[in-house]
Amino acid sequence: MNTVKKITISVAIILLVLAGLSRMYDFALRHNANIKAAYVQSAKIDANIIFHGPCEPLWMISPAILDSQTHVKSYNLALSHSDFADNYLHLYFYLKHNKAPEMMFLYVTPESMDANYNTFNTYRFAAFVGDPVVDSVLKECDPDYAKWSSFPFMKYAWYSSKVNFDALQGLKHYVQHRTIPYYPDGYEPPVQVVWDNHLEKFIQLYPDGYNFEWNKLREKYLCKTIELAQQHGIEVYLYESPVLEEALHYQPNREEIVKKIKGIADKYNILYVQFDKMKIAASRKYFMSTLNLNMEGSRIFTDTLGKYISGRLHYNEFIRPHL
Amino acid sequence: MIFHSLIFLCFVIVTVITNYLLPQRFRSFFLLFCSLAFIGYYNIESLIAVIVFSFFNFYISRNIRGNRFLYIAGILLNAYAIIMFNYFFATRQGFDFSYSAISFNINSFIIALGLSFYALQNIAYLTEVYFNRWQPEISVKNFLFYNSFFPKVASGPVMMPREFMPQIDRNVITHEKLAAGFNRLLLGLFKKMVIADRLAPAVHSIFDFGDTNHGLTTLAGAYLFTIQLYFDFSGYTDMAIGIAKMLGYDLKENFNLPLRSSSISEFWRRWHISLISWFTAYIYYPLVYRLRSYKKAAALAGILATFLISGAWHGIGITFFLWACCHIVYLSFELLTKRMRSGLPEKFIYKLAGIFIVFNAVSFSNIFFRSGSLSSALQMVKNLFSDFFPSDWLRDFIAPLAVGGHQIDEFNFYISMFLAGAFLLFERKINRIAESERFSFYYTTACVLLIFLFGIFSNGERFIYMQF
């Protein structure tokens, strides 16, 4: 066989295998029950309330505890390290296959508006490349990936260390006919349960404090998330959970950013509920980091949130109709 | 434009095809243009630096014969450039001995790409011309080409004038060369993307956040850095050699299975060969020759000078000084015990023990090479000798190495260990295929598929040696 023939066959086989692998990964990832984007598109969750945002709601709000207080079904749609574009796509997937919930609590803080906190996790959407909504977000949030993802298998190769394990797990779930995720209500108890010393490192890095930077893309996707929810008739609440009081001294423009967030809430005629000044905010013993409560702190906060939601449900059911 | 980025691969494909189609007399002009474009794309300061330094050195070389003052001025100019650009500008720090010039940060700013590599080439060139061992180049284009040839500009190999200059206008491209170049390029991509970059997070975790690690975890981090550094730098070299071959040029080999060395002197004959050849030719031999009447002391002085300068070339931080000191101690010990060790029988077990000792010694010295500061290096050394075995293996050993306690992190860590281990085990065989001048169907398919399956495309690390 001459070299040209060999090269041609080699290229053809590589492209074929890559195309085959791409299909296999598509299939496997869509069958992985632990991937929220896949799960919410295959299961009927139909929650009355959803909680959305990055790791703070993910680790702090347990629907199981809340449901017993509010007597309605809730689901935690939050994902760790996610930004609003990430949240937007997950809400889009959820609404594609589920009944629109009555309420959505979206976690928004000055940190959420700063691109140095959290990120858009492209790999979570690799199996859904081709969906026009997904593609348009990818183009804006990860243009390099969007450019190369049409090459066979590149949509997975680009973040291979993030998707290989999930693909194998997806195959396992398919073989075992597993459809229920490891965390069925979306809530993940935090891995880290002790104080993580990030604040000390933060102070070392910024002894004079850190000024949050308002990111336009974050603002755009916060607005898009609210708009998407409102288009489906969902009552949106922006909320902020307790923030460790001592950390506020190192955030000189926090109040200024909070005002801007309130401005967005006003624009959409929704509430920005702030639990940041709860009593527990004064003590480190309820926190594992500046924004993340530990198990005990989460329990107290969830209880307060539950009461607030019950109040809102009661208001919606009995008071609002008479206004 | 990083070597393993997709845009660079596109640039290479276009350059190789165009160069192949061009008549030979135009090729060096075309490649010079591509090289300058490559450097300019990196940053404009690098482009200005390479042009200015090439012109200076070219001018000096034309008038250097018999002019000792000009020769010394030329050497000092290049040495000064290395110090200025590598230290003062690259780190943007003051002259502070407590600071290590190395940051290993993907955002670290390198103002003049490859300057410390082509400055060494220029010193070699001026010396060869001054001592009448090489005719001064008459074409400024060729001299600029010698300095800026894009496959080697970023991190070498450091080429002596006699090794590279005769090739400039006489490059020959054959199908065999194209195949051999392609094989080497693939090998380099594999080493960098599949092994080095996959090990980088574990190394980062141990070196940058490992203040409280146990001894064994720290040791594993040091081992992994040695392996990462090897795959990163040899991967770069493979790519440079491969691309140059496809363009019709032969570059010098930089590595020859260094992790299989059973003595430190053997290690230095196999690791970063082009740099060590330079140091040997222009520092070690001249010094030993001058002090030859002192016999062993002359060799010791040669080792001392060579490694102190090598340490300073890597960075002026105290950590590089300590790294150099480690190797001075190792090599001096070897030199002084040579006679005693020569009595040992040539047994496999001794060879194996030698490999183990050398690997440990090199890894230990690399703690200083990699650490961001003296305090973190000393902390790691302290960790190494206290509380060696972890009480909870999963929490204290696997989790820090796997950069987290999640299943996915562990999975990635095991995959990386498997790939690195398998490669090191079959390295000789793999190298043989990669160096062959024939297109290999199985090798190409396997490499490409493994790169796609396990390679890091998204946020690949810069090549470590780019910052020197």
B445–A161 CB contact, under 8 Å: no
Average pLDDT estimate for A183-193: 83
| Nearest-Cα residue of chain B relative to residue A25 | B453
Mean pLDDT confidence for A12-16: 95
Minimum Cα–Cα distance from A201: chain B residue: B209
Say if the Cβ atoms of A160 and B452 lie within 8 Å: yes
Name the residue facing A165 among B6, B411, B438 (closest C-beta): B411
CA distance B223 to B416: 14
Residue with tokens 């030698």: B354
* CATH for A46-146+185-322, options being 3.30.565.10, 3.40.50.1110, 3.40.50.920, 3.30.360.10: 3.40.50.1110
Inter-chain contact B408–A166, Cβ cutoff 8 Å?
Answer: yes
Nearest chain B residue to A146, by CA: B458
* pLDDT tens digits in sequence order for chain B, 468 residues long: 676 678 888 999 999 999 999 998 899 999 999 999 999 998 888 899 999 999 999 999 999 988 999 999 999 999 988 887 666 654 544 333 333 334 333 334 456 788 889 999 999 999 999 999 999 989 999 999 999 999 999 887 999 999 999 999 888 899 999 999 999 999 999 999 999 999 988 898 888 877 778 899 999 999 999 999 999 999 999 999 999 999 999 999 999 999 999 999 999 999 999 999 999 999 999 999 999 999 889 999 999 999 999 998 888 788 999 999 999 999 999 999 988 887 777 788 889 999 999 999 999 999 999 987 888 899 999 999 888 888 888 778 888 888 776 788 889 889 999 999 999 999 999 999 999 999 888 999 999 999 999 998 876 556 666 665
Minimal CA separation from B419 to chain A, in Å: 13
Query: Which of A80, A149, A161 is the best residue to mutate to test the B interface, defined by the most B CB atoms within 10 Å of its own CB?
Result: A161
Model confidence at A3, in pLDDT bands (50, 70, 90)? confident
Mean pLDDT, rounded, of chain A? 91
Residue B103: per-residue pLDDT: 39
- Per-residue pLDDT at B106: 36
Q: Which residue has the higher pLDDT, B460 or A269?
A: A269
Decide if A24 touches B, using CB distance below 8 A.
Answer: no
Tokens encoding A237: 């609440």
Neighbours of A112 (CB within 10 A): 26
Nearest chain B Cα to A191, which residue? Answer: B405
What pLDDT, on a 0 to 100 scale, did the predictor assign at position B109?
46
Contacts of B405 in chain A (CB under 8 A): 191
Residue A163 to residue A71: CA distance in whole angstroms: 37
CA distance B6 to chain A (A): 9
User: Nearest C-alpha of chain B: how many angstroms from A154?
Assistant: 7
Q: Which of A10, A18, A161 sits opposite B198 (nearest CB)?
A: A161
| Residues of chain B numbered 174-213 and touching chain A (CB < 8 Å) | 175, 179, 198
Sheet holding A74-76, edge to edge: A74-76, A49-52, A103-107, A235-240, A271-274
Asked if A145 lies within 8 A of B458 by C-beta distance, the reply is yes
**Is B302 in contact with B282 (CB distance < 8 Å)?**
no
Say if the Cβ atoms of B453 and A160 lie within 8 Å.
yes
Nearest Cα residue to B42 out of B92, B5, B14, B93:
B5
H helices, E strands: number in chain A: 13, 5
Each domain of chain B, given as residue ranges in start order, spans: 6-93+104-161, 178-456
Mean pLDDT computed over A159-178: 94
Residue A199 Cα distances to A204, A291, B442, angstroms: 8, 10, 52
State residue B99's pLDDT score.
Answer: 36
Selection from A292, A303, A283 nearest residue A57 by Cα: A292
- Say if the Cβ atoms of A157 and B411 lie within 8 Å: no
**Dihedral pair phi/psi, residue A49, rounded to 5°:** -130, 135
| Contact between chains at A153 and B452 (C-beta distance less than 8 A) | yes
For residue B196, which of B442, B400, B454 has the smallest C-alpha distance?
Answer: B454
By three-state DSSP, how is residue A237 classified? strand
Residue A62 Cα distances to A74, A121, A190, A235, B44, angstroms:
9, 23, 11, 20, 54
Lowest mean pLDDT among A19-28, A106-115, B306-315: B306-315
Least Cα distance to A112 among A220, A234, A245, A232 occurs for A220
How far away is chain B from the Cα of A171, in angstroms, using its nearest Cα?
Answer: 15
Q: How far apart are CA B221 and CA B233, in angstroms?
A: 18
Contact between A139 and A146 (Cβ < 8 Å): yes
Residue A238, SS3 per DSSP? strand
Residue B119 burial (C-beta neighbours within 10 Å; 0-12, 13-18, 19+): buried
Q: Report pLDDT digits (tens) over A32-80.
A: 999 999 999 999 999 999 999 999 999 999 999 889 888 899 999 999 9
pLDDT, residue B101, reads 36
Q: Flag if B449 and A18 touch (Cβ within 8 Å).
A: yes
Long-range contact list for B377-384, CB < 8 A, 24+ apart?
B377/B319, B377/B322, B379/B211, B380/B207, B380/B210, B380/B213, B380/B218, B380/B221, B380/B222, B383/B210, B383/B211, B383/B212, B383/B213, B383/B214, B383/B215, B383/B217, B383/B218, B384/B215, B384/B218, B384/B219, B384/B222
d(C-alpha B241, C-alpha B156), whole Å? 10
Q: How far apart are CA B95 and CA A47, in angstroms?
A: 62
